[in-house]
A and B are shown apart, each in its own frame.
Chain A
Amino acid sequence: AQKITQTQPGMFVQEKEAVTLDCTYDTSDPSYGLFWYKQPSSGEMIFLIYQGSYDQQNATEGRYSLNFQKARKSANLVISASQLGDSAMYFCAMREPHNTDKLIFGTGTRLQVFP
């Protein structure tokens, strides 16, 4: 069965520094997608970035990039130049499209950015 693991319950980073949030996954399906979502204290789920299993390059979206290491089954989120507004919960999720398009979520990492 597919599984998403986020081993860091909490992370701290100083403003303007970069931070890496870890995510490992487990699947036997060769075709899958990986997503990162941000959940601020207001509660909404905000989509950040997507990586497909067949994508040759690591995904990037502004200050967000995904360090995709397929052989190690890891999909770490890198936030560059952290801002105070980046303080939030971050969730990694995986979709196996051949097994419907359900999303499986990790337990999340709480990021705190300090001045």
Chain B
Amino acid sequence: NAGVTQTPKFQVLKTGQSMTLQCAQDMNHNSMYWYRQDPGMGLRLIYYSASEGTTDKGEVPNGYNVSRLNKREFSLRLESAAPSQTSVYFCASGTGARQETQYFGPGTRLLVL
């Protein structure tokens, strides 16, 4: 049981380049999330998807787009990367039930030069 998987694990981009971070879960969860983690800031929600076909902005959505491709997959796209987007990106999924935790992927370390 793979849980939540993310690709790639590491990426270096030049300013202005685009890329897509991929996330997949095999737990049949309805909800999926993208967070970024910066030193001293904890995790901040970028976008989330409460169900297949729906997406909503989180706390820090600027510069990002998302696609909920199907129930399993939720991708995060940087159209024109900026150094301020250097961060560790986590994907998570959950049932949405109040007492249920979210399950996190291993993270993607992104460096924008």
List of A residues within 8 angstroms of B96 by Cβ: 101
What is the number of residues of chain B that contact chain A, defined by CB distance less than 8 Å?
A: 27
- Residues of B59-73 contacting chain A, CB below 8 A: none
List of A residues within 8 angstroms of B101 by Cβ: 35, 47, 50
- A101 CA to B98 CA, complexed, in Å: 7
| A81 at the B interface (CB under 8 A) | no
- Residues of A80-115 contacting chain B, CB below 8 A: 91, 93, 95, 97, 100-108
| A30 at the B interface (CB under 8 A) | no
| A7 at the B interface (CB under 8 A) | no
Return the chain B residue nearest A35 by Cβ: B101
| A62 at the B interface (CB under 8 A) | no
Would B44 and A105 count as touching, CB distance under 8 A?
Answer: yes
What is the number of residues of chain A that contact chain B, defined by CB distance less than 8 Å?
A: 23
- A44 CA to B4 CA, complexed, in Å: 11
Output the least CB separation between B60 and chain A (Å).
12
Would B56 and A100 count as touching, CB distance under 8 A?
Answer: yes
Would B43 and A33 count as touching, CB distance under 8 A?
Answer: no
Would B40 and A107 count as touching, CB distance under 8 A?
Answer: yes
- A33 CA to B95 CA, complexed, in Å: 14
Point out residues on A near B: beta carbons under 8 Å: 4, 31, 33, 35, 43-45, 47, 50, 52, 91, 93, 95, 97, 100-108
A–B complex contacts, Cβ < 8 Å, 9 sampled = A33-B98, A44-B106, A45-B104, A91-B42, A101-B96, A101-B98, A102-B48, A103-B45, A108-B42
